[in-house]
Amino acid sequence: MSEVEKTQASQNEASTEEHAVHTKNSKRADWILLTAVLLTGLVLFAIMALRTGTGQRVSVRVDGTEVASYWLYSEVDEVICGYDGGENHLRISGGQAWIADADCPDALCVHMGKISKAGESVICLPHRLVVEVTGENS
């Protein structure tokens, strides 16, 4: 075997090895990516769980009877039929609940603004409607 042939042979070997290493590395990168995605998901879940406490919900009662219940961290855009045919436009977004619009004469419920903590409520007396955040705050 001449010197030239030897060099070519070792070059071929080197490129094969390089290919093997490359494949190995990209597989490892896949694992790192997968782990990173899983970890990010876990961290986000933990943050959400901390922020939301243990299962905060928005309870809607009309005349003392619960007519609807939503998770506080959901998107809700509903018209609630209150007592005596009254209508309250309930909105839940970004962890806050509020009455966006209502056809009650005083519109106090609309002016009560947004609620987000357990125990807070928006009340519409003419429609006998109570929107309350339930659950524990962390």
Task: By CB under 5 A, tell whether 62 contacts Zn ion.
Answer: no
Query: Judged by CB, which is closer to Zn ion: 18, or 84?
Result: 84
Shortest distance, position 75 Cβ to Zn ion, whole Å: 22
Shortest distance, position 80 Cβ to Zn ion, whole Å: 11
59, with CB counted inside 10 A (0-12, 13-18, 19+), is middle
Q: Which residues contact 136 (CB under 8 A, 6 or more apart)?
A: 53, 54, 56, 118
Q: Which of residues 91-120 bind Zn ion (CB under 5 A)?
A: 102, 104, 109
Q: Which two tokens stand for residue 13?
A: 């070997």
127, with CB counted inside 10 A (0-12, 13-18, 19+), is buried
* Region near Zn ion per CB under 5 A, out of 32-40, 58-66, 73-81, 121-129: 121-129
Task: By CB under 5 A, tell whether 80 contacts Zn ion.
Answer: no
- Contact by Cβ (8 Å): 129, 86: yes
Task: By CB under 5 A, tell whether 122 contacts Zn ion.
Answer: no
Q: According to CB under 5 A, which one of 97, 124, 131, 133 is a site residue for Zn ion?
A: 124
Residues found near Zn ion in the complex (CB under 5 A):
102, 104, 109, 124
